[in-house]
Amino acid sequence: MAGPTLVPPPLEPLELRPADGEWLVRLAADAVRARLTGERADGRVPRPAALRRLGSSFVTLECAGLLRGCIGTLEAVRPLYRDVARNATRAMTDPRMEPLGVEEWPALAVSVAVLGPSEPLPARRLADLLRQLRPHVDGLVLSAGRRQATFLPAVWEKLPDPADFVAALLVKGGWAPDRLPPGATMRRYTTAEFHAEAATA
C-alpha cells in the first residue's frame, strides 16, 4: 500500500501544531539513537501534510548544557520531516567539535527549529541593519561573496543586544565585527522551535 504523497510547497509559512513539533523532535532523537546504536530508525512517513511539505530546519544537540552540534538548511529543498532527520544525523558530527558518543545519550537534549520564509533587509551600513532587527524574533543570514553565516533567533538568549548579536555573526562568517563587508546582503527569518530530552522524546 502506497504511503502519503508529497504535498507541494506552500506559499505561506508552515503552520505547525504542538503535536507536529513533538513528532519532529521524536524523529530527530530517533535518528540520533539509530546512528549511535546501529539500529534501524523509524522510517514511517508522517500523516500531517505540514510535515511532508518542503521545509528547512536546524537541529541542535546539547549534552549537560554544552553544545554538541548544530546543523541545518536555509533553503527548503526536501520534505520537512526528511530535512529534520538528515540534520539530526549531521549534527552528530558537527565539524566544530568532537563527534557525539553513545555515552552522551542519557543527558542529550534535542531542539528542532523550523524556519519560516526569509525576507531581505535592505541596509548599506551596520547602523541601518541594527535598527531593523527585532531582538528575540529574527534569525539573520548574512552573505558576502562566497561566505555566508546565520544565527537562529535562539542566539538572542545569549546575545540580547543587537550590536553584540551582529558582531558575533560577522566574526562567525570571517568578517570584521564592526562593519558590513562589501557587497553584503542580509535576510531575516523566524522559527518555530521545539525541544525535548532525547531519552524521553
Q: Do 69 and 127 belong to one domain?
A: no
Residue 15, pLDDT score:
81
Q: Do 98 and 195 belong to one domain?
A: yes
Q: Do 139 and 88 belong to one domain?
A: no
**The three cell numbers locating residue 43:** 522510517
Q: How far apart are CA 86 and CA 117, in angstroms?
A: 20
**Inter-residue long-range contacts of 152-158, CB under 8 Å, 24+ positions, other chains counted:** 152/58, 152/72, 152/113, 152/191, 153/113, 153/190, 153/191, 153/193, 154/60, 154/111, 154/113, 154/191, 154/193
Q: Do 196 and 102 belong to one domain?
A: yes
Q: Do 90 and 173 belong to one domain?
A: no
Q: Do 58 and 129 belong to one domain?
A: no
On whether the CB atoms of residues 126 and 167 are closer than 8 A, the answer is no
Q: Do 112 and 125 belong to one domain?
A: no
Residue 14, pLDDT score:
67
Per residue in 78-130, pLDDT tens?
A: 999 999 999 999 999 999 999 999 999 999 999 999 999 999 999 989 999 99
Residue 40, pLDDT score:
87
Residue 1, pLDDT score:
40
DSSP, res 105: G
How confident is the chain (201 residues) per 10-residue block, as mean pLDDT? 43 76 96 93 89 96 94 95 97 95 95 95 94 96 96 96 98 96 96 89 76
Structural domain of 59:
18-116+191-200
On whether the CB atoms of residues 23 and 46 are closer than 8 A, the answer is yes
**Inter-residue long-range contacts of 74-78, CB under 8 Å, 24+ positions, other chains counted:** 74/115, 74/118, 74/141, 74/150, 76/9, 76/115, 78/54
